[in-house]
Amino acid sequence: MTLRIQCLVIDCHDLEVVAGFWEAALGWRRTHHTAEQIVLEPPEGSAEDGVAPDLLFVRVPDPTPGKNRLHLDLRPEDQEREVQRLITLGARRASVGQPSDASWIVMADPEDNEFCVLRPLQDNR
């Protein structure tokens, strides 16, 4: 099969705020920028460059309607340090009904798009 995922599209009201948050959170680069959309790609020459799907942020007039049907799971080296860093960038902890003893932390970006910060792979909790 020759089909592959090119990008994940994230609708947002304030394009600069949301794309800027993810640009800083992931350390990715802008490869396309218009008044209506911004594309982020992994750093040039990194292991993810040309492999990981791009993130395409598209300006829409509507607010986030509710719980996302699709979200990103992020795998950090240090879960709590990453959560704190993401909070300083504008994210917040979120509750979507996850169990109190969940190994992941649910968060939301500046426009309430949910994502999870997983525990490190080597963490055997």
pTM of this structure:
0.89
Q: Which class is 1-62 in CATH?
A: alpha beta
Query: Which helix (H) or strand (E) element contains residue 22?
Result: helix 15-26
pLDDT class of 51 with cuts at 50, 70, 90: very high
Residue-wise pLDDT tens digits, 84-109: 999 999 999 999 999 999 999 999 99
Whether the CB-CB separation of 63 and 111 falls below 8 Å is answered with yes
Q: Please state which of the four CATH numbers 3.40.50.300, 3.40.50.1980, 3.10.180.10, 1.25.40.10 is assigned to the domain occupying 64-125.
A: 3.10.180.10
